[in-house]
Homo-oligomer: A and B are copies of this chain.
Amino acid sequence: MSANTKTLKVALLGAGNVGSQVARILLTDASALAARTGARLELVGIAVRNVDAPREVEIPRELFTTDASALIRKADIVIELMGGLEPARTLILEAIEHGATVVTGNKALLAVDGPTLYEKADAAGVQLSYEAAVAGAIPILRPITDSLAGDKITRVMGIVNGTTNFILDAMDSTGAEFADALAEATRLGYAEADPTADVEGHDAAAKGAILASLAFHTRFALEDVHCEGITGVSAGDIAAAKEAGYVIKLLAIAEKISVPTGGQNNDDGGTFTTGVSVRVHPTLIPREHPLGAVRGAYNAVFVEAESAGELMFYGRGAGGSPTASAVMGDVVSAARRLVLGGPGRSDSTIEVLPVLGIDAVKTRYYIGMDAADQPGVLSKISALFAENGVSIETMRQTVHRERDASENGSAASAELRIVTHRASEAALAATVEAINGLDIINSVTSVLRVEGV
């Protein structure tokens, strides 16, 4: 490195799981980073709540400070890895005002306040990068914004929460019930003590909103995302899916949809409006689908584009080192820009598409039900589907005969499993309601969406 190499001052906010790994890379890989950026990246300080807290990585004590604002004013690049809404939001705004390049991995904040933060950064002419906020180590933001910039994305389906993928994968391999698989995930450190944000799909919804914003050049907020978690998925659902050649995954799905301009049910004419919907729910996908091979706590994002066809990006979605890799990719890009000038990873011009609700979505459905074993059950049920405009693709019936102490000698019940063609949420809900009203039906045991076929 020549004597007149530029120095860029880097401030780190937070020294937790990810922050401490970012500090490690900045401190130990200094010469490789200098070779790749053309600048010396000097870690000028790390803002933490408690200077004396134990850390995973050995970091010189004099780097720690509790005064984040003072640290930000010294920095060319500010890396925010505190997580949570506050003080992260205030400190990012301070960094933008100060003119520093900001790198963050804070998906919760971006999902809630992303649009405001992007606008403030644009207005101030500073870069705000956030590769680490979606799917951890997996490079997904640059492929979407740069590599696919000449193509048109039609759909994105992501396994973006490692905890729920670990639980569903364990249920699939061992036949365990949800509660037992969750307990195992907690024991192994894949689930937090309070797993609500993961198992209810809130974390996946936040990442879905960010992914959708990128893929469709339209800004989404968390409340635009339809969200269902995995707490209702039973061992029986998993077993039935497996038997039919499917695997159940929690997917965040963002897709472009055309709906009749006059309203959702005005199917028979007029003009169409194109919008985007984002939803998170447990989904049946064929076992041989690329997303079906994503095991354990791994993440993957499956992208469909007009010219490229099907693409998938796979890797670790969480963890200190993997997430630090994504953060450092943003830091190196930011440093190259600061050294060489010019634009950065440019967001495409924002093309505001209407945000559509779950009622605009048509998917295939899987419906499991427990019926009486009587002649005519199949015809009654299929008539009900037809009346509600839902077309059946496959129907399987398994009869269980149980010995019974009653006078009748034996009772019998039939397990019915139906996969439909594409139907709207409303049509499906009406069908399920009507089925529940039949006296020959003991219960509807599961209603799940099917994708990837």
Residues of A within 8 A of B (CB): 21, 25, 29, 32-33, 35-36, 38, 131, 137-139, 141-143, 146-152, 288, 290, 292-295, 305-316, 319, 321-322, 324-333, 336-337, 340-343, 345-346, 348-349, 351
Residues of B within 8 A of A324 (CB): 307
**Contact assessment for B332 and A150 in the assembled complex, using a CB-CB cutoff below 8 Å:** yes
**Contact assessment for A307 and B25 in the assembled complex, using a CB-CB cutoff below 8 Å:** yes
Q: How many copies does the complex hold?
A: 2
A349→B339 CA distance, assembly (Å): 14
**Contact assessment for B137 and A308 in the assembled complex, using a CB-CB cutoff below 8 Å:** yes
**Contact assessment for A146 and B333 in the assembled complex, using a CB-CB cutoff below 8 Å:** yes
Residues of B within 8 A of A137 (CB): 307-309, 311
Residues of B within 8 A of A146 (CB): 139, 142, 329, 332-333, 345
Residues of B within 8 A of A33 (CB): 150
- A348 CB to nearest chain B CB (Å): 5
A314→B131 CA distance, assembly (Å): 19
- A20 CB to nearest chain B CB (Å): 12
Residues of B within 8 A of A346 (CB): 336, 340
Supply 22 A–B pairs (Cβ within 8 Å), ascending by A.
Answer: A33-B150, A35-B349, A36-B348, A36-B349, A137-B309, A139-B146, A142-B142, A142-B143, A146-B329, A146-B332, A146-B333, A149-B332, A150-B331, A151-B329, A288-B295, A290-B314, A305-B325, A306-B325, A308-B315, A308-B316, A309-B319, A309-B322
**Known interface pairs A290-B314, A342-B341, A342-B343; A325-B151 also in contact (CB < 8 Å):** yes
Residues of B within 8 A of A333 (CB): 146, 149
A311→B142 CA distance, assembly (Å): 15
A315 in complex: contacting residue of B138, B141, B309, B340, CB < 8 Å: B309
Residues of B within 8 A of A311 (CB): 137-139, 313-316
Residues of B within 8 A of A288 (CB): 293, 295
**Contact assessment for A337 and B327 in the assembled complex, using a CB-CB cutoff below 8 Å:** no
Residues of B within 8 A of A36 (CB): 149-150, 348-349
A152 in complex: contacting residue of B32, B150, B343, CB < 8 Å: B32
A346→B330 CA distance, assembly (Å): 14
**Known interface pairs A36-B149, A149-B332, A341-B343; A316-B325 also in contact (CB < 8 Å):** no
Q: A308-B315, A308-B325 are in contact. List 8 more A-B contacts (CB 8 A).
A: A35-B349, A146-B333, A149-B336, A305-B325, A306-B321, A307-B324, A311-B314, A341-B341
A146→B349 CA distance, assembly (Å): 21
Residues of B within 8 A of A340 (CB): 342-343, 346
- A191 CB to nearest chain B CB (Å): 20
Residues of B within 8 A of A138 (CB): 311
- A309 CB to nearest chain B CB (Å): 5
A29→B148 CA distance, assembly (Å): 14
Residues of B within 8 A of A21 (CB): 307
